[in-house]
A and B are shown apart, each in its own frame.
Chain A
Amino acid sequence: MKKRIQRIAVFLLATVLLAGVAAGCSNAGDRRKVLRVGMECNYAPYNWSQATADNGAVKISNSNEYANGYDVMMAQKIADATGRRLEIVKTQWGGLAPGVVSGKLDAVIAGMSATSDRKSTVDFTDNYYRATIYALVKKGGKFTNAKTLADLKGAVCTSQQDTIWYDLLKQIPGAQIQPALADVSSMIVSLQSGKCEALLVDKPTALAAVYANKDLQNIDLGGDKDLKVPEEELDIAVAVQKGNTELKDSINKALADISESERSQMMNQAIKDQPLSNGKIPQNDEGSLYWIGKMLNEYGILFLQGAGVTLLLALVGTLIGCIIGLLVGVLRTIPKPKKSRNPLLKCLYWLLQFLLAAYIEIFRGTPMMVQAMVLYFGSMSVFHLDMTPMFAGFFIVSINTGAYMAESVRGGIESVDAGQTEAAQALGMTHWQTMENVILPQTFRIILPQIGNNLIINIKDTSVLNVISVTELYYEANSAAGVYYKFFEAFSIICVIYFIMTFVCSRLLRLMERKIDGSNYYTLVDLDAMADPTGMVAGRSQKGGMHKWGK
């Protein structure tokens, strides 16, 4: 048992060190020369992700995917003009503004319009594109002949979360506004599936969507007097940290050199290059199996890598979490100091118990996704501690698991009957010797199913870490889905992968439980062989008779 614990400890230490080194390495480069640009990589034609470096795509940081699109071209131009090395950081829409506020990102170039709301938290450069508003509807559908806002009367409609587009929906007379969606890909899937009838987007998005999906139709609302849009809201601009005038000025200088015609040429290029524009890709007349095959073919390796990251996060997180849980659980069961002991000791005891209880309650009581956001962005903006997404991921999963396991451990310790503790004390064992030799081995067996539960939960719940750009399985699937607008197929694939991972893990843990329980029979030892102690040990199993005991 002891050796096994040592081995686990060594493995753990190595993992932590490796993670630390990995975290250190990515910070080792000279930061001044890097321009870290955040974007969704899921918002064609502004930005999207692809599996290859075709058409001048740029590699996404901490991932094996490549980013391309109007934003990427623009970012490359800005980086070249300002003498920096471009680094694309794939970030969920909701994480972009926090990223630039905290300093995780130098700039956001993500088709983001410079709204007055956003200006209160970030600074915007001059526009690098001007995007008028379009509506998207289904060709041949109820609104196929619509030309104006008024024509869309009574439409079931939606748009993207945190965008001006979504705010504009209420200007459609009698609109039945649905909850906002996370990204454009899911909006288009929603429209195609009939869950909604109209979308409000900007011009490039609409053009690209229609280019790629022959069953869609766009409506130019740019000249519609009924649609009231504040002028600046149409400006697509680069967001930088508030007060970073140096960067803002240099980007403005770079933008000034890119003419209007060059911009529209770039946009046309982007609309042409976007993954779905590839003429070879059939439109919607292929079944799901075709798409699953295609995705596996092109993104299979990324899915596997994502699954690897997920598994690594879950395993290491569960392991470190169990050790944290064990420590906290054991500390929580320290007996109260006796009345006669000094008051300082008593104060320390209560302080420790308070802190441990606070840790458990806080981390069990808040969502892991929120913790990840707070830690990842907060550590940067408050402590200027630049964690890699992976390091933050390990940290969050471990500390979360620790909080749950601490309670399991405490319960496990308390469920070992007090008589065994007394017997150990009667032999002269100290509190720690009793824990190590008698209580914890039994606690471990009792909580093993809990450890299994946590491992399985972690395999699934690491999917929320895509908010801090951890390239785990869900993140990879979301990218693949976004490229082809094929959500059902992509998520069906990872459903199977998740299930295989959790199923294999739960079977392995069952096996481990059985191994710890040992056989349910024992061998009697031949008393004659006992005369010679060495012979006894060797002859234990051969000479003895078997005794079966039902369990």
Chain B
Amino acid sequence: MGEVNEPILQVKHLRKQFGNNEVLMDIDFDTYPSDVVCIIGASGSGKSTLLRCINLLETPTQGVILFHGENILKGTKPSEYRAKVGMVFQSFNLFHNMTVLKNCMVGMEKVLKKDKAYAEENALKYLKKVGMAQYINAKPAQLSGGQQQRVAIARALAMEPEILLFDEPTSALDPQMVGEVLEVMRDLAHDGLTMIIVTHEMAFAHDVASRVVFMDKGVIAEEGTPQEVIENPKNERTREFLSRFHNQGGGNF
């Protein structure tokens, strides 16, 4: 974080409607280099939709998304923008017809037009980083969920994106696998990677986030440092949401 500079990504007055159902209402937020933004909130509050809008997997109904000051909803091809903004999905979404290594190489070869040797070297570098280099010959179906998610992270990292988006990366995992994935993400935060993470892992958000955004019914109800939002929530809805975690014993911070 350190020095204050230009935001990489700015979301302004973002709205998203599915039919009559207004999922996002007037969302505003900025992301600066090396920010780790954790978006928390109840199911149906619009967290995932917000993330999918940022990556253009959903088309916003209204509003602008600025990437380095340029509105990505107009003009530029979405594929160029998407190559710079990585995404990690809840259900991993690895390509089942490719080996682990090929999963990490295909984006570099086809989208960034890198040669094979470079792609292989870079893929290995990031697979090593997530501790999956041993498994380059495996097919996704042969790996555990935690292993698959780590490969998915390596696949996104290999594109060397400016921002990495995580959509509930541990929600589909058995409890014992959650740790290995969070460990990798903690590592990335430490390296200074800019990340926007939709998560239910309050302890992780508390330890790693530079900023926590609490969403409720399509609006940002509260945002601030982890200390502000998680330890001393001001908003009634935030308190109520967090209390459920305390009661379930889900949080320990």
Contacts and interface: CB of A to CB of B under 8 A. Distances in A.
A424 B86 contact: no
A338 B56 CA distance: 14
A522 B135 contact: yes
B134 A437 contact: no
Contacts of B121: 533
Interface stretch (B10-18, B105-113, B174-182, B184-192): B105-113
Contact of A427 (B97, B133, B142, B155): B155
A116 B50 CA distance: 80
Interface size of B as a range: 35 or more
B97 A423 contact: no
Interface stretch (A42-50, A87-95, A438-446): A438-446
A426 interface: yes
Interface string B190-223: 0000000000000000000000000000000000
A437 B102 CA distance: 11
B133 A429 contact: no
Contact of B91 (A419, A441, A522, A527): A419
A412 B89 CA distance: 23
Contacts of A433: 110-111
Interface string A495-537: 0000000000000000000000010101111010010010010
Given A426-B87, A428-B82, A430-B79, A420 B96 contact: yes
Contacts of B87: 422-423, 426
Contact of A536 (B89, B99, B106, B124): B124
B244 to A, nearest CB: 28
B81 to A, nearest CB: 8
B95 A420 contact: yes
B55 interface: yes
B96 A525 contact: no
Interface in B142-156: 142, 152, 155-156
B79 A428 contact: yes
A425 B56 CA distance: 9
A540 interface: yes
A383 interface: no
B95 A438 contact: yes
Contacts of B55: 426
B80 A428 contact: yes
B135 A445 contact: no
Contacts of A523: 137
Nearest to A418: B93
Contact of A522 (B93, B107, B142): B142
B169 to A, nearest CB: 13
B25 interface: no
A423 B94 contact: yes
B83 interface: yes
Contacts of A429: 79, 107, 110-111
Chain A CB within 10 Å, residue with most, of B89, B121, B137: B137
Interface in A68-95: none
A427 B159 contact: yes
A78 to B, nearest CB: 64
Chain A CB within 10 Å, residue with most, of B83, B99, B107, B155: B107
Given A426-B55, A429-B107, A525 B139 contact: no
B138 A522 contact: yes
A428 B92 CA distance: 17
Contacts of B111: 427-429, 433
B253 to A, nearest CB: 31
A521 B133 CA distance: 16
B95 A423 contact: yes
A217 B92 CA distance: 82
A424 B156 CA distance: 10
A423 B89 CA distance: 8
A527 B136 CA distance: 11
B97 A445 contact: yes
Interface string B31-63: 000000000000000000000000101010000
Nearest to A533: B121
Contact of A420 (B59, B93, B120, B142): B93
A422 B89 contact: yes
Interface in A404-430: 417, 419-420, 422-430
Given A423-B95, A427-B106, A536-B124, A527 B134 contact: yes
Nearest to A534: B117
A446 to B, nearest CB: 11
Contacts of A518: 139
B128 interface: yes
A425 B120 contact: no
Contacts of A549: 142
Interface string B154-180: 011001000000000000000000000
Contacts of B152: 423
B137 A419 contact: no
B137 A522 contact: yes
B95 A424 contact: yes
B124 A530 contact: yes
Contacts of A525: 133-137
B135 A524 contact: yes
B95 A522 contact: no
A522 B133 contact: no
A428 B82 CA distance: 5
B88 to A, nearest CB: 9
Contact of B97 (A425, A441, A536): A441
Chain B CB within 10 Å, residue with most, of A518, A520, A525, A540: A525
B120 A426 contact: no
Contacts of A530: 124, 128, 133
A426 B92 CA distance: 12
A161 to B, nearest CB: 53
Contacts of B83: 427-428
A206 to B, nearest CB: 68
Nearest to A520: B142
B224 to A, nearest CB: 29
Nearest to B137: A522
A459 B82 CA distance: 48
Contacts of B85: 426
14 contacts: A423-B93, A426-B89, A427-B155, A427-B159, A428-B159, A429-B110, A437-B95, A438-B106, A441-B97, A518-B139, A522-B99, A524-B135, A533-B120, A540-B137
Interface of A: 338, 417, 419-420, 422-430, 433, 437-438, 441-442, 445, 518, 520, 522-525, 527, 530, 533, 536, 540, 544, 549
Given A428-B107, A433-B111, 19 more contacts: A422-B57, A423-B89, A425-B57, A425-B79, A426-B55, A426-B85, A426-B89, A427-B86, A427-B111, A428-B79, A429-B79, A429-B107, A437-B95, A437-B110, A442-B96, A520-B142, A522-B135, A525-B133, A540-B137
Which 5 A-B residue pairings sit nearest by Cβ, starting from the closest?
A428-B83, A423-B93, A427-B107, A419-B93, A426-B87
